[in-house]
A and B are shown apart, each in its own frame.
Chain A
C-alpha cells in the first residue's frame, strides 16, 4: 500500500466516522475515542463494523466477542484494519505531514 493509498483510506475512514457521529470531518482527531469522545452508539458501531468489513475485510472484526470498544480510538482502529497491508505511514506521521487534522491542544 502506498502513502497515497493509506492517506486516502484514512480520509475515507474519517469521513465515515464523521457521518456516523454526525459531526464535521474536521472535528475527528486521531486520538479521539469512538465512544467517549465521538459518542457513537451501538447502532453506529454496527454500521462502522459493516463499513470496515466491506472496506478492509478485517479478520479481527469477524468476531467481536472480546472487543472493548471504550478503548478504541480512530487511529487504533485504522491501524488494526490496515494491519498486514503495509501501511507506509502511521496515522500520527500523516497528521504531522498535514494530511489529517491535528488533535485539539
Chain B
C-alpha cells in the first residue's frame, strides 16, 4: 500500500498537483452555452455556409428538433468567444464518448466561414486540452467531409493522423465527397500542442507549462516502477 504524506497526498502524485484546465486564453475563451444563445446559434447555423458544411447539411429541423440535435450524445460543448470583442466565433464539442475503449469524438464549427482565421483553431486547441484533462481518453476522433479538411490539413502527421477515409460518403452539389476520420492522440497532442497552448496561456510571461495528465494505467505503472 502506498504511504500518504501529512496532507493525505500520494508521494508519487506530489509533483502533479491539481490544476484546472484553462478555459480562457489571451485571445479566446470557452464559455458554456446558455438558453439565451439558442436563437443566435440556430440562426447562424441555418443562414450561413455552416448549414451545408456542418451537421444539418441543408436540412431545416424544427426549433425543438434543432435544440435536441445541439445536445445529441454531447459530453461537453462550449462557445468560442473572442477576448477583445466578446464575439462568438464558433462552437466546439465532444460527443459519443466511449469510456470502455478510451475514445470520443470532437467537432468544431466556425461561424463566418468566409475568412480564414487562427482564432477558432486556438479555441479548438483549448477545448482538446480540456477534454484530455477531464477524461481519460486515449484519442479523439474528428470526422470531416473532405471539403472542410483543407482548413487544417497542415496538421496531418503532427497534431492528428488521418485514420480512415469513407469514399464518396457525402452527396453535395452534384457529386460525392469523401469523409475523413482524423485521430488526435493524447501523447502526440501533448508534444505538439504545448507550444501553441503556452502562447495562448493567460500568463504574459508565456512560460506556463501545459501538460496533459498521463492515462491512469500509465500512472499505475509509474507507481509500480517507483517501488522497484
Residue contact A64 to B115, C-beta cutoff 8 Å? no
Q: Quick one: which of A42, A48, A65 has the most chain B CB within 10 A?
A: A42
B196 at the interface (CB under 8 A from A): yes
Residue contact A42 to B196, C-beta cutoff 8 Å? no
Number of interface residues of A (CB under 8 A): 25
Residue contact B206 to A54, C-beta cutoff 8 Å? yes
Residue contact A43 to B27, C-beta cutoff 8 Å? no
Q: How far is the CA of A44 from the CA of B154 in the complex (A)?
A: 6
Residue contact B115 to A70, C-beta cutoff 8 Å? yes
**B interface bracket (residues with beta carbon within 8 Å of A):** 20 to 34
Residue contact B87 to A65, C-beta cutoff 8 Å? yes
Nearest B residue to A47 via CB reads B196
Q: How many A-B residue pairs have CB under 8 A?
A: 72
Of B82, B87, B116, the residue contacting A42 (CB under 8 A) is B116
Residue contact A53 to B115, C-beta cutoff 8 Å? no
Given the contacts A41-B152, A43-B152, A35 and B116 also touching, CB distance less than 8 Å: yes
Of B83, B116, B199, the residue contacting A45 (CB under 8 A) is B116
A1 at the interface (CB under 8 A from B): no
Residues of the B chain whose Cβ atoms lie less than 8 Å from the Cβ of A43: 118, 121, 151-155, 159
Residue contact A41 to B26, C-beta cutoff 8 Å? no
Residue contact B82 to A65, C-beta cutoff 8 Å? yes
B64 at the interface (CB under 8 A from A): no
Nearest B residue to A54 via CB reads B199
Interface residues of B in 68-97 (CB under 8 A from A): 82-85, 87
Please report A residues at the B interface, Cβ cutoff 8 Å: 20, 22, 35, 40-50, 53-54, 62-70
12 intermolecular pairs with C-beta atoms under 8 Å apart: A35-B116, A40-B116, A42-B121, A42-B151, A43-B153, A45-B116, A45-B117, A46-B125, A64-B27, A65-B82, A68-B115, A69-B116
